[in-house]
A = this chain, B = another copy of it.
């Protein structure tokens, strides 16, 4: 288990008590996310864009169109910083200054490389579908050669990353503890809502859809 930052730029200086450098917490945060924010500098300016992402083993994956300038830029190994943050609640302290948020955050550095081998590409795309809807990969029309050819799949090794997690109630100054002010947490969660079928379908509802609806109002 890694207890120190892998590099100077991943060492967390503010509130280091919330820092983690182990892959367990990093993978949990990635696996709970459907999207990440990718930052890069294209030579003219810095950009930050949201992208769908998924993990397979010790790599993060994204995909996109061969026509996308972003994907073309990332293909050539431009350095990126990737941010994922789950917002878990507002933390209300007795003083304005000690208010905070609960969150699970990961920041990852590295370079993407394309997966060019067609079999390997199909395999990680199947992993992506399995992540979205387990079992669905057997139902759908799979990508044909033209569609696959129009899709770039990139992967980035999860070797340089830092995790920061804050959970629990407010941390007030000792002298503020007796103030007559409500203190606690206003929690939030990203939850599933009942599935919405396209109108006019004569299709039996697959398990991954009915279980999504059965889990409505539970965390994603």
A residues neighboring B (CB under 8 Å): 9, 13-14, 34-35, 37-41, 44-50, 52, 65, 67-69, 79-83, 85, 87, 89-90, 92-97, 99, 101, 103, 105, 107, 109, 125, 129, 132-133, 136-137, 139-143, 147, 151, 169-170, 176, 179-198, 201, 203-206, 209, 212, 217, 220
Q: A41-B41, A50-B83, A170-B198 are in contact. List 17 more A-B contacts (CB 8 A).
A: A9-B44, A37-B37, A38-B48, A45-B81, A45-B109, A46-B81, A47-B107, A49-B83, A50-B103, A90-B132, A92-B133, A97-B147, A141-B179, A180-B203, A184-B209, A188-B190, A217-B217
Instruction: From the candidates B141, B187, B196, name the one contacting A194 in the complex (CB within 8 A).
Output: B187
Q: How far is the CA of A14 from the CA of B71 in the complex (A)?
A: 11
Tell me which residues across on chain B come within 8 A of A204, comparing CB atoms.
182
Q: How many copies does the complex hold?
A: 2
Instruction: From the candidates B13, B35, B37, B151, name the one contacting A97 in the complex (CB within 8 A).
Output: B151
27 A-B contacts, Cβ less than 8 Å apart?
A14-B65, A35-B103, A37-B48, A37-B83, A39-B81, A40-B46, A45-B109, A46-B79, A46-B81, A49-B83, A50-B83, A52-B101, A90-B132, A92-B132, A92-B209, A96-B143, A97-B147, A141-B179, A169-B196, A182-B204, A182-B209, A183-B201, A185-B195, A186-B195, A186-B212, A187-B193, A191-B191
